[in-house]
Amino acid sequence: MTDPLSLTALAQSDALSRGTLSATELMEATLARIAAVNPSVNAIVSLRDVAALLADARAADAAPRTGWLHGIPIAIKDLAHARGLPTSMGSPVFAGQVAQADDIMVARLRAAGAIIIGKTNTPEFGLGSHSINPVFGATKNPYDTARSAGGSSGGAGVALACGMVTVADGSDMMGSLRNPAGWNNVYGMRPSWGRVPSEPMGDSFLHQLSTNGPMARTPADLAALLDTMAGSDPRQPHGVDAPPTLPQIGGGAQGMRLGWLADWGGALPMEDGVLALCRSALEQMAQLGVTIDALVAPFDRDAIWQSWITLRSWAVAGGLGALHDNPTTRAQLKDTAIWEIERGHALSAMEVHRASVTRSEWFKSAATLFETYDVLALPSAQIWPFDVTLDWPKDIAGTAMDTYHRWMEVVVPASLLGLPAVCIPAGFGGPHDLPMGVQLIGCRGSDAMLLRLAQAWHDATDWPARRPPPKVS
């Protein structure tokens, strides 16, 4: 019998529906893989009781199918609430607190038949692209366990790469679905902002930076999971409803035009080898019928950065400010969280307004680019996976990083505008032969088109199957 963990999620779903695979067999294989691999990478946390999970699988086998995920194990990123499981958010403040209800996105996965097995690791409150926290420790890159897996969806990326799950949820404010996808040789997608709803808590009008989204080892699985997550919530004002993406991803990439933004005209420092690998991937993409043009920087890098850190600090302070106001919980926050909150508290209304004006100007400039190009492309990171014992990289190619998140700047142009972006595996390189990705960025609403290009790329390369982590192969 074919190893069920080598199948895509859609292939698992098909086998389960035809009866050639049982949910019990799939759960047994999943738990065996987790037991064998997870101790060395620390990707899945708060794993549920094995007997309870096997009971859930047997119940799925005995029940009518409720959706395409029926009987498929999924672990939820530890920033989202999954009923009956702890939601630590990587913080001692919330360690051990058990969720009483599912978040919207989790409820949709469960309604489609998914069996929630546990959580995936993340940085404290998702701040920073390095999945380390004082509750569960660090998630390690399966291609080199001495190095970072990225973040904040690092646990999800590693669980996928190691075959512990076939699809995973994540969230992305500042590259958290893209950076770990690139560093773990899988696919991650930041959808158009509003396509996947957040929770109807606090302000639902002003903050448009973070979004939930899917991760997978194939674009088809990415599309299927996005379609399950997506759909507006009537309690929130900016929701987006759109046709399903999965039926639209065929047809190839012939005739698409792509603008390569590289290092933003030399403004973004890059470690040796990153740009060369990404350019090589694009040269291969050109063979699929995609026209590739190198572009000059389309907007001032420093203006984008200042707009971003103003709006981000404002959003973080709005979300975590109550923890900072309480001396007991403030004492349990990491230094970078305190810095971000205090920076947000110090902003004036007009500073926020000016940052939003800059964002609006960048949106107009980007719209002009999309009149010519279907897709803009950037590396998914400016550096190769770094030493897992570091808190964050302090320099890139000799350029000092002035904040804990400056090293992630390459993901900001898409995040600031709420644009959809798919991270595709670009291959392996650098001094340690590690994975890197390319961000494919489209205009708002172009999610299906990006997935079509990603599918064409996957059909030509299939990097996740060609180069699985050594301990899984």
Q: For residue range 235-259, what is the model confidence (pLDDT) as tens digits? A: 999 999 999 999 999 999 999 999 9
Confidence of residue 2 (pLDDT cuts 50, 70, 90): confident
312 lies in some domain: yes
Report the number of distinct structural domains present in the chain. Answer: 1
Burial class (CB in 10 A: 0-12, 13-18, 19+), 237: exposed
Strands (E), 174-299: 187-190, 211-216, 257-260, 291-294
473 has pLDDT over 50:
no
472 lies in some domain: no
Q: For residue range 33-83, what is the model confidence (pLDDT) as tens digits? A: 999 999 999 999 999 999 999 999 999 999 999 999 999 999 999 999 999
Q: Is-contact 338 324, C-beta < 8 A?
A: yes
Q: Is-contact 141 158, C-beta < 8 A?
A: yes
Omega before residue 152 within 30° of 0, cis: yes
473 lies in some domain: no
471 lies in some domain: no
Confidence of residue 471 (pLDDT cuts 50, 70, 90): confident
Range of the domain at 31: 4-466
Contacts of 165 (CB under 8 A, 6+ apart): 30, 73, 74, 75, 117, 156, 159
Q: For residue range 199-249, what is the model confidence (pLDDT) as tens digits? A: 999 999 999 999 999 999 999 999 999 999 999 999 999 999 999 999 999
Q: What is the rounded CA–CA span in Å between residue 293 and residue 33?
A: 43
292 lies in some domain: yes
pLDDT at site 1: 62
Confidence of residue 303 (pLDDT cuts 50, 70, 90): very high
Tokens of 464: 């996740």
Confidence of residue 472 (pLDDT cuts 50, 70, 90): low
CA 29 to mean position of chain CA atoms:
25
Q: Is-contact 54 28, C-beta < 8 A?
A: yes
417 lies in some domain: yes
278 lies in some domain: yes
Give percent of the chain with pLDDT exceeding 90. 99
Mean pLDDT on 272-288 = 98
DSSP state of 118: E
Task: Name the β-bridge partners of 441.
Answer: 376, 421
Q: Is-contact 228 264, C-beta < 8 A?
A: no
User: Annotated catalytic sites, by residue?
Assistant: 77, 152, 176
Burial class (CB in 10 A: 0-12, 13-18, 19+), 54: middle
Mean pLDDT on 291-307 = 98
Q: What is the CATH number of the domain that holds 184?
A: 3.90.1300.10
DSSP state of 201: -
What does residue 291 show for φ and ψ, rounded to 5 degrees? -85, 125
